[in-house]
Amino acid sequence: MNHQNIILIGMAATGKSTLGRRLARRLDWAFVDTDLLMEAWWGAPLQQIRDHLGLEAFVQAEAEQIQRIHLKQCVIATGGSVVYSEEAMAHLQGQGHIVYVQTSFESISRRLTNPSSRGLAIGPGQTLKDLYDERAPLYARFAQLTVNTDGATPDQTCSAITLGLSRTTQDEP
Ligand SMILES: Nc1ncnc2c1ncn2[C@@H]1O[C@H](COP(=O)(O)OP(=O)(O)O)[C@@H](O)[C@H]1O
Ligand SMILES: O=C(O)C1=C[C@@H](OP(=O)(O)O)[C@@H](O)[C@H](O)C1
Ligand SMILES: [Mg+2]
C-alpha cells in the first residue's frame, strides 16, 4: 500500500469513525474525523451546527471543511453527507484512496438509535430509508473499494480494508 490517505465514506452509523480510529492505530498513522473538524471550526456539536445552518448551508459548510484538508498518511473518517458535494469529493479523490464502508439498511437502522441528535443531513419529510437509497449509488460512484460490515466485527472490517486496498493499489506507482 502506498502512503496516500485512506478516506472512509458511507452512511451514518456504518462505522467510519470506529474503523478509522482502529485502522490508524494499526498502521501507526494519524486519524482525522471531519465531523470533529466541523465541531472544532464552529465551536459547537454537529446537531447544533445543523440546526443553526439548515440543510443546504450545512452541506456547503461540510464541503468547505473538506476542501481545507491537505494531509498525508492519515486515515480520514468523513461525515455521511459529504457525497452531496462534487467539489468536496473531487478534492478527496486527490487526497487518497476512497473506501465505501457499506452496511445494509437493516443494520444501519438498528445501529442508529439517536437519529434526531446526530446532525443528520436529512430533508423535511425524508425517511432514513429515502436517505439510504439516495446516497448508496453516490458512495459507490466515488469509491475505489467497497467493504461491507454486516456480520463482521470492526477488526475484521479493518482487515478487509487493508487487504482490499493492497490489492487495488498494488499496480500504482
Ligand atoms: N464491522 C463493523 N465495523 C464498524 N462498526 C461496526 C461494525 N459492527 C458494528 N459496528 C458498530 O457500528 C457503530 C458505528 O458507529 P460510527 O463509527 O460512529 O459510524 P459513523 O462514523 O459511520 O457514523 C459503532 O457502534 C460500532 O461499534
Ligand atoms: O449522514 C449524515 O447526514 C451526517 C452524518 C454525520 O456523520 P457520521 O456519518 O459520522 O454519523 C455528520 O457528518 C453530519 O451530522 C451529517
Ligand atoms: Mg463518524
The Cα 123–Cα 39 span in angstroms is 21
The ranges assigned to domains in the chain are 5-168
* Nearest-angstrom CA–CA distance, 147 and 103: 9
Residue 170: per-residue pLDDT: 74
What is the bridge-based pairing of β-strands 96-102 and 145-148? Answer: parallel
Q: Identify the pLDDT of residue 173.
A: 60
pLDDT for 167 equals: 92
For 93-139, how does the pLDDT look when each residue is reduced to its tens digit (9 = 90+)?
999 999 999 999 999 999 998 888 889 999 999 999 999 999 999 99
Predicted TM-score (pTM) of the model is 0.97
Of the ligands numbered here, which is closest to the C-alpha atom of 120? 2
The reported pLDDT for the residue numbered 115 is 83
- Residue bearing cell 484512496: 97
Q: Does residue 21's CB lie within 6 angstroms of at least one atom of ligand 1? A: no
Distance of CA 50 from the midpoint of ligand 2 (Å): 10
Q: Is 16 annotated as a binding residue?
A: yes
CATH number attached to the domain at 5-168: 3.40.50.300
Give the model's confidence band at 171: pLDDT under 50 very low, under 70 low, under 90 confident, else very high.
Answer: low
